[in-house]
Structure 1
Amino acid sequence: MKFTKMQGCGNDYVYINCFDETVSAPAELARKISDRHFGIGSDGLVLITPSQNADCCMRMFNPDGSESEMCGNAIRCVAKYVYDRNIIHKKQIAIETLAGIKFITVNTDENDTARTLTVDMGAPITEATEIPVIANASPVKDLSLSAHGRDFTFTCVSMGNPHAVTFINDDVSLFDVERFGSVFEKDNHFPHKANIEFVNVLSPTHLKMRVWERGTGETLACGTGTCATVAAACLNGISPHEAVKVDLLGGQLIIEWNMEDGHIYMTGPAEFTFDGEYYYG
C-alpha cells in the first residue's frame, strides 16, 4: 500500500490516497502505522477519499485508533496533496470532514506549488451542550478544574471537536503539559474527552500555546486547537478580532476570527516529507 508522510507545523500524519488504495480496517491500521518504533511513526492516519458532497473527503484516525472529527493541520496537508498531485487542481477546494465541509484557499509560489493554505474553519461553537462540556452557562469562560493540587480556569470551545483553553502565567515552554493535560483530557466535565491548550499571552495579537490532544498526547501543533485558543482569547477580551500569531512547538499559525461572517480563518504551511510503501495485510 502506497502512502505519503506530510506535516503541518510538525503535526505529522501518514496520508493514504483512497482514490487509488483501499483501507478496510482504518482504526487498526492507525494504531500500527502511527507507532514510532514499530510502524512508520506519526500523530495519526489520514485517508483522502472521494466525496459525493465535496471535492474530496478527509478521515482522520488517532494513534489509539479513535476517529477525530477534524484536524486543521491535516486538512491543509490534504489540500496540498490533492492540488500538487493534480487530483483536484484548483485554488478553492472543498473538503468533507466529520465536522462538516471545510473550504480551503491554496496559496501558490511561482512554480504553482502550494506553499501556505488558508482554511475557513467555520464559526466556533460556544454552546456548552454542543461542545460538549458540562457547565451551567454558555459561553463557558470560567470552568474551574483542579489537578495535582493546582487550580485552572478553562474557556471551552468546539471547532468541530472539543477544546478547553487555559491561560497560564507559567512559562509554557517549561510547563509540564503531559502531567496536567493527561488528567484534564479525561475529566468528567467532558463527555467526549477534550483537547487541552495551555497558553501564554505575549501580546493581544501574539500568543504561545502547547497542546495535549485527546487520544494522542502532546503534539507539535494542533490547527483546531490554535483556532480554539484565539476564539477563547477573543471571548475573554484578550485578543481583538484581527490576525493573531500563535507560536507552537512546530511553527507558527495565523488565526483570524472574522466578525463579518463569524468564521475563523487559519493560514499556515503544509509540507511533503516522503513517499513510501507499507506492507499491509
Structure 2
Amino acid sequence: MGHIFKEMTRKIKFSKYQGAGNDFILIDNRHGFFDRDDHDAVRKLCDRRFGVGADGLMLLQDTKNFDFEMIYYNADGREGTMCGNGGRCIVAFARDLGIVRDKTAFLAVDGQHDAVITNNRVDLGMIDVFTVRRDGEAYVLNTGSPHYVEFVQALASMNVYQAGFAIRNNEIYREDGINVNFIEKEGHGYFVRTFERGVEDETFACGTGATAAAMAAAIRENLEGDVEIPIRVLGGQLYIAFRKAGDSFTNVRLKGPADFVFTGEV
C-alpha cells in the first residue's frame, strides 16, 4: 500500500475494530502524527480495494476534562456526525491502549458520552432525543446523526441499496444527506437494515440507526417508561434502552459487541 500513501512521510500505526459488522480504522493520535485535515488520506485508507478498508476512520485524541476525544470520519473522507458503533469500538480501543479500564467518559462531535465495557461488550450512553418528525409514514429524528426510519415487510429480500439511495438523494434530503433505515417486526424485537450517507451504501450495522429505529418502534407501539428493544442487524445483535415519555427519549443506551480484528502500519 506504500505507493498509495507516498505523500505520507511517517508510518502510521492503526488498529481495525468492528461492532456488529460495522468496521472501523482506529488511530491513536494523542501525539498528533496524523493530520486531521488530510481527508484524502482518510478516504484512501477506508477504500476496500486500494486501502485498509472500513466504513469509517476514527482518531483518538487528548482533550481536557475527558479520557479522550473521538474524531470520526465517514468512508468518503469527510468528518461525520456521531457514529454509535464507532463510539463503542473506540471505547474498546481506549481500553486496549490502557487509557481506560471498565468505564469511561469521552468527548465526541455531539458532546459527552459515557460507556461501560465488559470483555467485548460495550454499553454506550447516547444523546437524549426530544424531537421526532414524520415524513409520510416514516419517522425522522436525530440520534447524533440524522435518520429516516420506515417500517416495511419482507425486509430480508428488499433491495436496500436502491430504496435507500433514492430516499437519501431525493429533493428533501439530497443536500445534507440522511441515513435511511428500514425496519420489520421480528419476534420480541426488530430487524433493521441501513443505507448510510458518507458510505453511500448499505452497511452491516449502524448504531445511531438502530437507536433511531428502536425509538420509532416505541412510538409506533405506544410504549412508555423504561424500555429495552432488541435490534438485529446484518452483522449481529444490538440492544437499545431508554426512558420514553411521549416523543422524548432520555437515558439512552446502545449495547453490543466491539471486537478487535487486526493491527498494522501504513
Give the TM-score normalised by the residue count of structure 2: 0.88
Specify the alignment match of 2:142 in structure 1: 158
Specify the alignment match of 1:214 in structure 2: 197
Q: Deviations over 1:176-200 (max 9, x none)?
A: 0110111111233235210000011
How many positions carry a matched residue from both structures? 248
1:102 aligns with one of 98, 113, 130? 113
Specify the alignment match of 2:9 in structure 1: none
**Alignment RMSD:** 1.7
Q: Secondary structure at the match of 2:231?
A: strand
Aligned-residue offset at 1:52? 1.5
Specify the alignment match of 1:119 in structure 2: 124
Amino acid at match of 1:233: A
Aligned-residue offset at 1:20? 4.1
Tell me how far apart the structure 1 counterparts of residues 155 and 31 of structure 2 sit (CA, whole Å).
43
Specify the alignment match of 1:182 in structure 2: 165
Tell me how far apart the structure 2 counterparts of residues 187 and 194 of structure 1 sit (CA, whole Å).
10
Amino acid at match of 1:98: V
Give the TM-score normalised by the residue count of structure 1: 0.83
Equivalent residues of 1:79, 1:104 under 8 A apart: yes
**Does 2:33 correspond to 1:22?**
yes
**Does 2:253 correspond to 1:253?**
no
Equivalent residues of 2:83, 2:144 under 8 A apart: no
Specify the alignment match of 2:133 in structure 1: 140
Tell me how far apart the structure 2 counterparts of residues 41 and 210 of structure 1 sit (CA, whole Å).
21
Q: Secondary structure at the match of 2:210?
A: helix
Q: Secondary structure at the match of 1:122?
A: coil
Specify the alignment match of 1:13 in structure 2: 24
Aligned-residue offset at 1:67? 1.4
Equivalent residues of 2:89, 2:259 under 8 A apart: yes
Give unmatched runs, 5+ long, in structure 1: 108-113, 127-138, 145-152
Amino acid at match of 1:275: T
Give unmatched runs, 5+ long, in structure 2: 1-11
Tell me how far apart the structure 2 counterparts of residues 9 and 105 of structure 1 sit (CA, whole Å).
17
Mean alpha-carbon deviation: is it higher for 13-22 or for 236-245? 236-245
Mean alpha-carbon deviation: is it higher for 194-203 or for 257-266? 257-266
Alignment of 1:68-107 (within 5 A): 68-89=80-101, 91-107=102-118
2:185 aligns with one of 190, 201, 206? 201
1:268 aligns with one of 243, 253, 256? 256
How much identity, in percent, do the aligned residues show? Answer: 30
Tell me how far apart the structure 2 counterparts of residues 201 and 162 of structure 1 sit (CA, whole Å).
22
Q: Secondary structure at the match of 1:74?
A: helix
Specify the alignment match of 1:147 in structure 2: none
After superposition, the Cα gap between the structure-2 partners of 1:85 and 1:162, relative to the gap in structure 1 and judged at 3 Å, is same
Specify the alignment match of 1:129 in structure 2: none
Tell me how far apart the structure 2 counterparts of residues 86 and 5 of structure 1 sit (CA, whole Å).
17
Equivalent residues of 2:67, 2:99 under 8 A apart: no
Mean alpha-carbon deviation: is it higher for 221-230 or for 252-261? 252-261
